[in-house]
Amino acid sequence: MPQNARAEAGVSTLDSDEDLVARCREQRDEAAFAELVRRYRDRVFRLALSILGQGFAGEAEEVTQEVMLRVHHSLASFRGEATFGSWIYRIAFNQAVNLKARVRYRAPHVSDEALASVASHEASPHDRLQAARRSEALHECVAELPEVYQSALRLFYWMGVSVAEVAALLDVPENTVKSYLHRARQLLHAMLHDRGFHE
């Protein structure tokens, strides 16, 4: 919604989520709902994408749309025990995990562009090939990790999201995110070692 339209509808970017939710529930205020969508759509999309992985942008967008529809239909039952953010992220996480179970048969896709960008840092053709293979193996290993580890890794490394924001998206403390990342790196190191990739 453009800024002028928001102002006309009496919705401000300064309104808290709680105020907007109350207006949606009590007055069925569509402008307030549009503002909530504007605030959360990109974060929900990133969270869904972090669970589904690279090559699943279309599915992540589908999840984002379903989450917004579900929120719109269920706002009346939202009791405010958790923050609106935690509630919407939980819905998004579950929705993305459910969709992932349905599309699991699809192999994880790593674009040629991504592989080329990895390879270009290395000097010799052998090193470039090794780096590209390691990158592919790394993506496969990441896909074998528990969902929260995968999500934390992709948010942090792929999307450049800060630890604080990863914590908010996964609804866990920051130290837990740091622990997820640390544990995930340990597991990846062991998995890559088993596949014959050494330093």
Partner 1 sequence: MNEQENVDQWLRDAMSGSTPRLSAAFDARLEKRLRPRRLTPTGRILMAAYVLAAILVSAWALRNAALDWTVVAAVLMASAVAATFYGRRIKASAR
Given the rule CB under 8 A, which residues bind partner 1?
A: 30, 37, 41-42, 45-46, 49, 54, 57, 60-61, 64-65, 68-69, 72-73, 76, 110-111, 113-114, 117-118, 121, 131, 134-135, 138-139, 153-154, 157-160, 182, 185-186, 188-189, 192, 199
* Cβ 159 to partner 1 shortest distance, Å: 5
**Residue 93 neighbours by CB under 8 Å, 6+ apart:** 47, 51, 151, 170
C-beta separation of 180 from 167 below 8 A = no
Q: Which residue matches tokens 């909530």?
A: 36
**CA-CA-CA-CA dihedral for 8, 10, 11, 15, to nearest 10:** 150
* Cβ 115 to partner 1 shortest distance, Å: 9
* Cβ 121 to partner 1 shortest distance, Å: 7
Q: What distances in angstroms separate CA 75 from CA 23, 152, 156, one per listed residue?
A: 10, 28, 30
* Cβ 26 to partner 1 shortest distance, Å: 15
Which of 63/168 has CB closer to partner 1? 63
